[in-house]
């Protein structure tokens, strides 16, 4: 199956991807085969973009769990997808301690150590797209970008992305790394959903620059994705008009906000993958987009 394509730097990828984080939730540990089957289903349906991170793990002692899972799924796939077209991205810069405490560490030596561990977990000699997971408040952002540039110059990573960045930080990253046309910064992964729209300025800047914009939690996160239609009635009403679920409409709405948007909703079941792929075929009219744009998002 061929899905619509969008650009990440010099690459074409499917217009929807899969966020793999929920596959490493503690309650999914007994169903590893099911998680791998979910990734295989996505590959069968033409999905060529998969998002993971070193901290996606059930505990601090199992860092890298999700990277290892994704790598196993890629290694064991025997379907018809062309694996040369598949992009797996990972992230570094966030730390985990026992007790569920998260911190930041983007010192050059720490980012390098995290990147080297991710290389080993993914079983690759170079990470195709490495994303800075979150700004480290203890360091200047320009220095964090220079640490990423060093990883790229040394060949550990091919392309650079940033996450949880505002428009000022996007501009700093461009100054240090260059833009997508220069083989520098190619993507920004920020929160955006019917619930959360505070990153509209960053989305606009990415559209201007041709940077792929990867909304995380595009359906409001694991705790609220099933409630999109009840929390935001307009999405359910439009869904009835176009023969789609409220969730599929939400993904279509995001995709039609800008040609640089590539949705990466989480999935832990093949049936969810089917719905994500269907969202790529949903077409919304200008009137429907206006209605959805004017839906008042929750603030909590």
Q: Domain 11-293 in CATH: superfamily? A: NADP-dependent oxidoreductase domain (3.20.20.100)
pLDDT of residue 101: 79
Q: What is the DSSP letter of 297?
A: P
Plot region of 167 (φ>0 → left; ψ -120 to 50 → alpha; else → beta): alpha
Query: Could you tell me the mean pLDDT of each successive run of 10 residues in the chain, 300 residues long?
Result: 92 98 95 98 98 96 96 98 98 88 94 98 98 97 98 98 97 97 95 92 96 96 86 95 98 98 97 98 98 76
pLDDT at 202: 96
Q: Which residue in the block uniquely carries the two structure tokens 């939690």?
A: 217
Q: What is the 3-state secondary structure (H, E, C) of 192-261?
A: CCCCCCCCHHHHHHHHHHCCEECCECCCCCCCCHHHHHHHCHHHHHHHHHHCCCHHHHHHHHHHHHCCCE
Give residue 295's pLDDT: 85
In angstroms, the CA 229 to CA 125 distance is 43
pTM: 0.96
Q: In DSSP terms, which residues pair with 261 in a beta bridge?
A: 213
- What's the pLDDT at 1? 67
């Amino acid at each position: 199956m061929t899905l619509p394509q969008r650009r990440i730097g010099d690459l074409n990828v499917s217009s929807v991807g899969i966020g793999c984080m929920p596959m490493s939730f503690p309650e999914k540990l007994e169903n590893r085969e099911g998680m791998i089957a979910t990734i295989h289903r996505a590959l069968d349906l033409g999905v060529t973009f998969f998002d993971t991170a070193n901290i996606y793990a059930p505990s601090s002692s199992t860092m890298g769990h999700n990277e290892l899972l994704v790598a196993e799924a890629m290694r064991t796939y025997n379907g018809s997808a062309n694996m040369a077209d598949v992009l797996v991205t990972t992230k570094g810069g966030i730390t985990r301690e026992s007790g569920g405490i998260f911190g930041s560490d983007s010192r050059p030596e720490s980012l390098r150590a995290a990147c080297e561990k991710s290389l080993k977990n993914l079983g690759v000699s170079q990470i195709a797209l490495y994303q800075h997971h979150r700004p480290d408040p203890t360091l200047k952002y320009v220095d964090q970008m220079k640490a990423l540039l060093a990883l790229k110059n040394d060949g550990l990573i091919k392309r650079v992305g940033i996450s949880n960045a505002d428009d000022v930080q996007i501009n700093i990253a461009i100054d240090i790394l260059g833009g997508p046309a220069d083989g520098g910064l190619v993507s920004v992964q920020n929160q955006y959903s019917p619930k959360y729209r505070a990153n509209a300025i960053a989305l606009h800047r990415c559209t201007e620059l041709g940077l792929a914009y990867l909304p995380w939690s595009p359906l409001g996160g694991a705790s609220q994705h099933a409630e999109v239609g009840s929390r935001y009635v307009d999405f359910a009403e439009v869904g009835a008009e176009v023969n789609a679920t409220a969730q599929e409409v939400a993904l279509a709405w995001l995709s039609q906000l800008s040609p640089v948007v590539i949705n990466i909703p989480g999935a832990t079941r093949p049936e969810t993958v089917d719905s994500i792929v269907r969202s790529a075929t949903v077409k919304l009219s200008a009137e429907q987009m206006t209605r959805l744009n004017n839906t008042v998002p929750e603030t909590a």
